[in-house]
Amino acid sequence: MFVENCEQVTCRLFKSGAGEFIFSEVMDLKELLSGNEAIARGAYEAGVTVAAAYPGTPSTEILENFSRYPGVYAEWAPNEKVALEVGIGASLAGARTLVAMKHVGVNVAADPLLTFAYTGVNGGFVLVSADDPGMHSSQNEQDNRHYARFAKIPLLEPGDSQEAKEMVGLALDISEQFDTPVMLRTTTRVAHSQGLVEIGGRSPRELRPYKKDPQKYLMVPAFARLRRNALEKRLALLKEYAEKSPLNFIEWRDKSIGVITSGISYQYVREALPEASVLKLGMTNPLPEAVIRRFAAGVKRLIVVEELEPFIQDQVSAMGIAATGKGFIPNSGELDTGILARKFSEAGILKPPVKTAAEGSARPEAPAAPGRPPVMCPGCPHRGLFYALKKLKLTVTGDIGCYTLSGLPPLEAMDCCICMGASIGAAHGVSKANPAMSGSTVAVIGDSTFLHSGVTGLLNMVYNNGSGTVIILDNRTTAMTGHQHHPGTGSTLMGTAAPAVDLETLVQALGVKRVRVVNPLDLAKTQAVLREETTAGEPSVVISRCPCVLLTRAAKPAVRVEKDKCIGCKVCIQLGCPSISMQDRKALVDPVSCTGCGLCVQVCQEGALVKGGDADA
């Protein structure tokens, strides 16, 4: 934390909706915060008392940070739908509430979201959707701004940490003023970039009184029809608000080019086109049509710059205003200043950059740089399970977690990965379509993912007389996102002890009669159990149980190589362990990173790899 030099006097720029600048001198405290830390701070300052989430990059740190503030309650829900429903209840009870999730999490929570838009709120409610353009840690790069339009709720898009903090408070004000949930949509570069943020105090809020009101909250058809009308009325009021909101402001500069932009794209536009006039939209649903028309009329050429889909541009075009943007700006991946400069220059809007003599002279050709894909850690228990699956030549329907990395070389032991919880339904579908595959197809799913959305898939497999094998990779944590607790770990986000669900009892209650538990670091036993269960002809669950190696950090002595026995066969290399390499045609084990898990000792047929601490042979 950067709280030194706290009494800085700075000159801060406020921008009004009319595009004029107001200067005000304020005494303030600035800290370098990531967008996620700023959102947590903003929620704390704005009096949020309840927050819920399921971890997902790039949203996870919001709840982790928020939970550390005094006087608040925060929890990990088993999935995003439950998190949102907890948030709906908290709002109903009158609390200011925040619910956070990654973009694909909103798919899971979409069902309550679209009807919550009808009921509206009691306490202010903000839903943070953290999108991932460029798919740094995601399976797709869907543009969740469409959800706000789909649900007909207000949408705010911060472009840096300061805005992220301020917009949380504004979102809650809008929520209470217009009786609606509000979406705050960030992207990876806002969520995970740090910038200076002015820190304020907390404005405590009393719970708003709860009043029973079935016509507002009980969405049966007769009442939902009433709320459907209320939704349209509210949207019209929100349009008026958007026209006057300081969230949407014009910076008049050179009027030959005018750019409409939002979120992180604003930062790239200010660098790539420093002279252009800019309409920065902080509120992008509903759009401020009159402001857009005024801006368009004031510039010669109108361009919309936004990451991913032409969300703003299509609506501007539908207003009958001539605008370009997605014609030459990519609609996939992240933007940056360099991409914009190049695309604007290719489109003839910017002059091509003048190269200096030094830039003009090309560098010599670089040697090829091999990639560095993420890999399972040394000692990762998943490695043993996937090595066994590969040996048995099984078709593996996969799921979301660290273990998805097993699909990459050298293990290549996973056939598909779609979304959270999909593995079990997919395995069941495979065997129903082609019974010949049923004895050779397994589903793999992590413990946190199973509790997120795998339970219903397994229930379905049992109910519909499936005969698949489901392997629960129980590493006792939500590892991929940084070791968050879940209903099976025995602890909560706030650090209190909690009942831990018993996976064996749970799956038995769903009707699974064959439940086996293996330690995946015991290869022979694991393979034997997998062979038995896949040929059993009835639903079975194998719980592959061993805590994440990063969680325990209880390393045993490193494995040693007896070089005279090593024949250079590279069988150990096929484990894909970053601690093992070849040097002079012999295996080499890095003693610093090796955790002594012993998998390589088990696969070596020559006895050349020896457990550390064992006597010399």
530 neighbors 584 (Cβ within 8 angstroms): no
* Residue among 102 and 234 whose Cβ is closer to other proteins: 102
Alpha carbons 500 and 495: distance in angstroms, whole number: 14
Q: How far is the CB of 445 from other proteins (least distance, A)?
A: 19
Considering the complex, what minimum distance in angstroms separates the CB of residue 191 from other proteins? 9
| 294 lies in the site for other proteins, by CB under 8 A | no
Q: Shortest CA distance to 36 belongs to which of 186, 148, 199?
A: 186
The values of phi and psi at residue 300, to 5°, are -75, -45
Among 41, 81, 145, 189, binds other proteins (CB under 8 A): 189
Binding status of residue 550 toward other proteins by CB under 8 A: yes
**Residue 363 found at the interface with other proteins (CB under 8 A):** yes
CA distance 617 to 607: 10
Q: Would you count residue 544 as binding other proteins (CB under 8 A)?
A: no
Smallest distance from the beta carbon of 420 to other proteins, in angstroms? 15
Using CB under 8 A as the binding rule, whether residue 275 contacts other proteins is answered as no
Q: How far apart are CA 570 and CA 585, in angstroms?
A: 9
Q: Which stretch binds other proteins (CB under 8 A): 266-274, 296-304, 448-456, 606-614?
A: 266-274
Rule CB under 8 A: say whether 366 interacts with other proteins. yes
Task: Return the number of the residue (121 or 350) whose C-beta is nearest other proteins.
Answer: 350
- In order, the DSSP letters of 203-230 are ---PPPPP---HHHH---HHHHHHHHHH
Judge contact between 447 and 473, C-beta under 8 A.
yes
Rounded least distance, CB 518 to other proteins, Å: 24
Question: Could you say which residues in the range 389-448 bind other proteins, by CB under 8 A?
Answer: 402, 405, 409-410
What x/- string results for residues 54 through 73 when contact with other proteins is judged by CB under 8 A?
A: ---xx---------------
Q: Are 271 and 295 in contact (CB under 8 A)?
A: no
Count CA atoms closer than 13 A to 577's CA, side-chain side. 33
Q: How far is the CB of 33 from other proteins (least distance, A)?
A: 10
Among the listed residues 578, 602, 603, 606, the single contact to other proteins using CB under 8 A? 578
Report the DSSP pairing between strands 155-156 and 514-518: unpaired
Q: How far is CA 605 from the centre of its chain?
A: 42
Return the bridge partners of 101, or none.
129
End-to-end C-alpha distance for the chain, whole angstroms: 53
Using rule CB under 8 A, residue 27 touches other proteins: no
For other proteins, the closer of residues 227 and 485 by Cβ is 485
Q: Tell me the site size for other proteins, rule CB under 8 A.
A: 59
> Which of residues 153 and 608 has its CB atom nearest to other proteins in the complex?
608
- C-alpha span between 111 and 107 (Å, rounded): 8
Kindly tell me which residue out of 224, 573, 603, 612 binds other proteins, with binding defined by CB under 8 A.
Answer: 573
Of the residues 195, 325, 379, 520, which one makes contact with other proteins according to CB under 8 A:
195
Instruction: Specify whether the CB–CB gap between 181 and 156 falls below 8 A.
Output: no
Contact positions with other proteins (CB under 8 A) in 308-347: 336-338, 341
Contact between 352 and other proteins by CB under 8 A: the answer reads no
496 lines the binding site for other proteins (CB under 8 A): no
For the segment 118-157, give every residue that binds other proteins (CB under 8 A).
136-137
Interface residue with other proteins, options 70, 221, 371, 499 (CB under 8 A): 371
CA 591 to chain CA mean position, Å: 34
Cα distance between residue 340 and residue 354, in whole Å = 16
**Using rule CB under 8 A, residue 160 touches other proteins:** yes
Q: At closest approach, how far in Å is the CB of 85 from other proteins?
A: 27
DSSP β-bridge partners for residue 497 = 491
Which of 116, 178, 268, 311 is the binder for other proteins (CB under 8 A)?
A: 268
Range 487-494, long-range pairs (CB < 8 A, 24+ positions): 487/78, 487/451, 488/447, 488/448, 488/451, 492/75, 492/76, 493/63, 493/64, 493/67, 493/74, 493/75, 493/76, 494/67, 494/73, 494/74, 494/75
Site residues, other proteins (CB under 8 A): 2, 4-5, 32, 57-58, 136-137, 160, 188-189, 192-196, 264, 266-268, 270-271, 336-338, 341, 356, 358-359, 363-364, 366-377, 402, 405, 409-410, 480-482, 550, 570, 573-574, 576, 578, 580-582
